[in-house]
Amino acid sequence: MPQTTLEVKSLTKAIHGKKIVDDVSFGVQKGEIFGLLGPNGAGKTTIIRMIVSLINRTQGEVIVNGSSLDGQYKEMMSEIGAIVENPEFYKYMSGYKNLLHYARMSVKKIPRERIDEVARLVKLEGAMNQKVKTYSLGMRQRLGVAQALLHSPSLLILDEPTNGLDPQGIRELRDYLRQLADGGVSVLVSSHLLSEMQLMCDRFAIIEKGKLIHISSMKESLAEEDLMNVAFEVSDAKAAAEVIESSRPGTEMEILDDTHFTIRIEREGINLVNRLLIQNDMDVYGIGRVAATLEDRFLEITSRSEEGKKIDLINL
Amino acid sequence: MISLICNELMKIFQKKSSWIYMIIIVLAVAASAIIYQKVTPDDKNWKENLTAENAGLKQDLENQNGKTKELTETQIKQNEMYIKDDINPNAVTNWTYMNTVLTGVLALVTLLSVIVSSASVSAEFSDGTIKQLLIRPHPRWAVLLSKYIALLIYYVLLLAVLIAAGFIMGTLLFGYGDFGAKIFDLGLNGVKETTVGAQFFLKILYYIPGLIVITAIAFMLSTLFKSQALAVGIGIFVLFLSSTLGGLIVMLADKYAWAKYILFPHLDLTIYAVQDKILGNITLPISLGVLLVYYLIFMAITFVFFQKRDISI
């Protein structure tokens, strides 16, 4: 059985009776990069801030390596390294003094060598004696990673880590995280950018309006991508849809207008449907694949939940 | 805890402004000493002058009544004591300078302490560093307490800079005088006979409780507001309000007994260095008690609020 580093159980936050985070539960395994995905304002940041105790929980439990936020605060917080939104530093102090500041706050003693080691890891060793106000955004981000790693935490939490980073910086960050995860550190990241999550995470949860509506691994969700949306242009879309329904009941279809419809099928199915339509004396003028990305899956899942339909929680 | 305090001290002293404030104090002390040197008359005929002054004051008495008359009478009494004991009131030494002028510069220490205190927590909010500060394995109250202790150390330092600069400037300009020289300090209820050095340190001692309570207000504001500018602005406003309201409350206290327990008249205890009672019947222990109650309330608000608040910036 894989070891669970972070366990979040029915986390809830209500402000003035309104639930902005509603009964969210999930777990992050050792060495796994787990993403929280959702549009802005969905509650990702609130969830993360409840985990790191910046925001009080209305309900729920957070457990890191067996230590609960209730009662074992010190033990739990020593296991966490985090960057909450843009990493902010004391700009009037040098990078080294900033790291020293956080090193002094660690429960286990952090020697000077460890600070140097972390600075080397994020390639800032040459800039440690400069004041942080002279740093570029990318350097600050790297210093952020450094302060989060100083005390060798078993869980790294990053809230919107790529905000304001250039593509080069994003790539570097991604490589760091993968390197860390391979070394046994668990990572929890939040983002509203799917493409980023796709590249970064092993598993992800989709948060919408404070609720967790879907958890799946990247592999599973991409496997589902074998089914694709295909658009047909025919003489009579409605009649065509009936023909397909009678031959392949249960196929997902959507009639766009009199002559267009889309259908969700596997690759081989395109040919079969085309043949079926021609055999039934339908004129086919065009067939095209609608590019299916994770983005579509995401929108599909979130909009389906809006209609109140039941979503199967895969892997929960 | 020690490492947390070290952190807070490091943050204070890495800021340029913390050093600039000390320089401001030194400059203000130097300016006060130079001005004092310029305005003090160098008179050898001080006995004749005092006698003449008393004669004038006695004439004034005839047209005066009530409080003004009392004041003039104490003034005359003070002058007579100087003549009788053969003490030149205008003889200036470093100690008389510190007792009469430097104690006035104390207000600057209060002002600067208020500025630093109200920025203490609110700056962490404005800069966003509070998020990184509070995700550490230390309870929030410990982080807040470390900030407060570091501030106390900084106040002591400002005060020490003031006294040292005052002593040095005073000695340079007026020469080293007798610490135990006899003086008469004028209060509302008469004249107090004491020695100059003791009187100076008594005033410093009585100044400290007020400083602690005013900065506690500033520290509280600092945790209540997320904007550094707002916290500092309101902190200074409260400081000025306290000196303005002081006089009003004296009048109010004549009518209503409860007004004697309003905070503001008790903030400046240095008045007890020259008189035993304020507001009619309030003595030093009562004032200290009032200050203590307010202090505990401010601290309770500060710590309870900070412990519970959601950090959502």
Q: Could you tell me if B226 and B211 lie in one domain?
A: yes
Q: Which of A169, A185, A217 is the last residue of a domain?
A: A217
Query: Rounded CA gap, B126 and A50, in Å?
Result: 21
pLDDT above 60 (res A311): no
Q: Could you tell me if B226 and B298 lie in one domain?
A: yes
Nearest to A88 among B11, B16, B132 (CB): B132
Query: Rounded CA gap, A169 and A86, in Å?
Result: 14
Query: A265 and A273 in contact (C-beta within 8 Å)?
Result: yes
Q: Could you tell me if B224 and B143 lie in one domain?
A: yes
Q: Are the beta carbons of B3 and A105 separated by less than 8 Å?
A: yes
Q: Could you tell me if A133 and A272 lie in one domain?
A: no
Q: Which residue blocks in A186-293 are alpha helix, DSSP H?
A: 194-200, 218-223, 237-247, 267-279
In this prediction, residue A251 carries a pLDDT of 79
pTM: 0.79
Shortest Cα–Cα distance, B227 to chain A (Å): 16
Q: Which residue blocks in chain B are alpha helix, DSSP H?
A: 2-14, 16-39, 46-61, 66-85, 94-97, 103-120, 122-127, 129-133, 140-174, 196-224, 228-255, 284-308
Q: Could you tell me if A173 and A141 lie in one domain?
A: yes
State the sign of the Cα–Cα–Cα–Cα dihedral B262, B263, B267, B273. Answer: positive
Q: Is A8 on the interface with B (CB under 8 A)?
A: no
| CATH number of the domain where residue A297 is located | 3.30.70.100
Shortest Cα–Cα distance, B311 to chain A (Å): 5
Q: Could you tell me if B170 and B98 lie in one domain?
A: yes
What is the percent of chain A where pLDDT is above 90? 5
Q: Are the beta carbons of B3 and A104 separated by less than 8 Å?
A: yes
Q: Could you tell me if A286 and A315 lie in one domain?
A: yes
Q: Which of A159, A193, A217 is the last residue of a domain?
A: A217
Q: Could you tell me if A20 and A142 lie in one domain?
A: yes
**A–B interface: beta-carbon pairs under 8 A:** 80
The answer as to whether B77 is a domain residue is: yes
Q: Could you tell me if A261 and A300 lie in one domain?
A: yes
- Structural domain containing residue B54: 41-90
In this prediction, residue A58 carries a pLDDT of 87
Q: Are the beta carbons of B138 and A147 separated by less than 8 Å?
A: no
The answer as to whether B292 is a domain residue is: yes
Shortest Cα–Cα distance, B129 to chain A (Å): 5
Q: Could you tell me if A104 and A16 lie in one domain?
A: yes
Q: Could you tell me if B225 and B191 lie in one domain?
A: yes
In this prediction, residue A1 carries a pLDDT of 47
Q: Could you tell me if B29 and B77 lie in one domain?
A: no
Query: Rounded CA gap, A119 and A111, in Å?
Result: 13
Nearest to A84 among B11, B127, B135 (CB): B135
The answer as to whether A120 is a domain residue is: yes
pLDDT above 60 (res A280): yes
Q: Could you tell me if A112 and A234 lie in one domain?
A: no
pLDDT above 60 (res A225): no
Q: Could you tell me if A113 and A260 lie in one domain?
A: no
- Residues facing residue A24 across a β-bridge: A11
pLDDT band at residue A313 using 50, 70 and 90 as cut-offs: very low
Q: Could you tell me if A210 and A282 lie in one domain?
A: no
Shortest Cα–Cα distance, B118 to chain A (Å): 17
pLDDT above 70 (res A291): no
Q: Could you tell me if A39 and A165 lie in one domain?
A: yes
Query: A84 and B135 in contact (C-beta within 8 Å)?
Result: yes
The answer as to whether A126 is a domain residue is: yes
- Structural domain containing residue A23: 4-217
In the DSSP assignment, the letter for residue B98 is I
Q: Could you tell me if B65 and B143 lie in one domain?
A: no
Query: Rounded CA gap, A11 and B239, in Å?
Result: 44
Residues of chain B in contact with residue A78, where contact means CB-CB under 8 angstroms, are: 137
The answer as to whether B285 is a domain residue is: yes
Q: Is A305 on the interface with B (CB under 8 A)?
A: no
Q: What is the pLDDT of residues B225-250, one digit of tens each?
A: 888 888 888 888 888 887 787 778 87
Q: Could you tell me if B62 and B206 lie in one domain?
A: no
In this prediction, residue B116 carries a pLDDT of 92
The answer as to whether B185 is a domain residue is: yes
Q: Are the beta carbons of A105 and B14 separated by less than 8 Å?
A: no
Q: Is A131 on the interface with B (CB under 8 A)?
A: no
Q: Are the beta carbons of A88 and B135 separated by less than 8 Å?
A: no
Residues of chain B in contact with residue A83, where contact means CB-CB under 8 angstroms, are: 132
Residue B185's SS3 state is: strand
Nearest to A77 among B6, B129, B135 (CB): B135
Of A295 and B119, more confident:
B119
Residue B241's SS3 state is: helix
Residues of chain B in contact with residue A54, where contact means CB-CB under 8 angstroms, are: 131, 134-135, 310-312
Q: What is the pLDDT of residues A64-80, one digit of tens each?
A: 888 888 888 888 888 88
Number of domains into which chain B is organized: 2
Number of domains into which chain A is organized: 2
The answer as to whether A131 is a domain residue is: yes
Query: Rounded CA gap, B206 and B203, in Å?
Result: 5
Q: Could you tell me if B129 and B211 lie in one domain?
A: yes
Residues of chain A in contact with residue B147, where contact means CB-CB under 8 angstroms, are: none
Q: What is the pLDDT of residues A18-43, one digit of tens each?
A: 888 888 888 888 888 998 888 877 88
What H or E segment, with its residue span, contains residue A15? Answer: strand A4-15
In this prediction, residue A314 carries a pLDDT of 32
Q: Could you tell me if B31 and B168 lie in one domain?
A: yes
Q: Are the beta carbons of A93 and B7 separated by less than 8 Å?
A: no
Nearest to A89 among B3, B10, B129 (CB): B129
Q: Are the beta carbons of B135 and A92 separated by less than 8 Å?
A: no
Q: Which of A176, A197, A217 is the last residue of a domain?
A: A217
Q: Which residues of chain B have pLDDT under 70?
A: 41-44, 89, 187-190
| CATH number of the domain where residue A115 is located | 3.40.50.300
pLDDT above 50 (res A123): yes
Q: Could you tell me if B83 and B109 lie in one domain?
A: no
Pick the closest to residue B166 from B22, B54, B42, B26 (CA basis). B26
Q: Under an 8 Å CB criterion, which residues of B touch A? A: 3-4, 6-7, 10-11, 14-16, 127-129, 131-139, 308, 310-312
Q: What is the pLDDT of residues B271-286, one digit of tens each?
A: 888 887 777 788 888 8
Q: Are the beta carbons of A74 and B308 separated by less than 8 Å?
A: no
Q: Please state, as a whole number, how many other Cβ atoms lie within 10 Å of the Cβ of residue B44.
A: 8
Q: Could you tell me if A211 and A233 lie in one domain?
A: no
The answer as to whether B297 is a domain residue is: yes
In this prediction, residue A204 carries a pLDDT of 85
Nearest CA in chain A to B3: A104
The answer as to whether A222 is a domain residue is: no
Query: Rounded CA gap, A145 and A132, in Å?
Result: 14
- For an interface test with A, the pick among B136, B146, B309 (most A C-beta atoms closer than 10 Å) comes out as B136
What H or E segment, with its residue span, contains residue A49? Answer: helix A44-51
The answer as to whether B313 is a domain residue is: no
- For an interface test with A, the pick among B124, B129, B131 (most A C-beta atoms closer than 10 Å) comes out as B131
Pick the closest to residue B306 from B166, B125, B75 (CA basis). B125
Length of chain B, please?
313
Nearest to B132 among A75, A77, A147 (CB): A147
Q: Is A40 on the interface with B (CB under 8 A)?
A: no
> Among A212-221, A270-279, B257-266, which stretch is predicted with the lowest mean pLDDT?
A212-221
Residues of chain B in contact with residue A77, where contact means CB-CB under 8 angstroms, are: 135-138
Residues of chain A in contact with residue B14, where contact means CB-CB under 8 angstroms, are: 90, 92-93, 97
Q: Which two tokens stand for residue B53?
A: 């002054």
Q: Are the beta carbons of B312 and A52 separated by less than 8 Å?
A: no
In this prediction, residue A302 carries a pLDDT of 58
Q: Could you tell me if A199 and A286 lie in one domain?
A: no
When the pLDDT of each residue in chain A is averaged and rounded to a whole number, the result is 81
pLDDT above 70 (res A56): yes
What is the mean pLDDT of the segment spanning A210-217?
A: 78
Q: Is A86 on the interface with B (CB under 8 A)?
A: yes
Q: Is A50 on the interface with B (CB under 8 A)?
A: no
When the pLDDT of each residue in chain B is averaged and rounded to a whole number, the result is 85
Q: Could you tell me if B60 and B163 lie in one domain?
A: no
Nearest CA in chain A to B134: A54
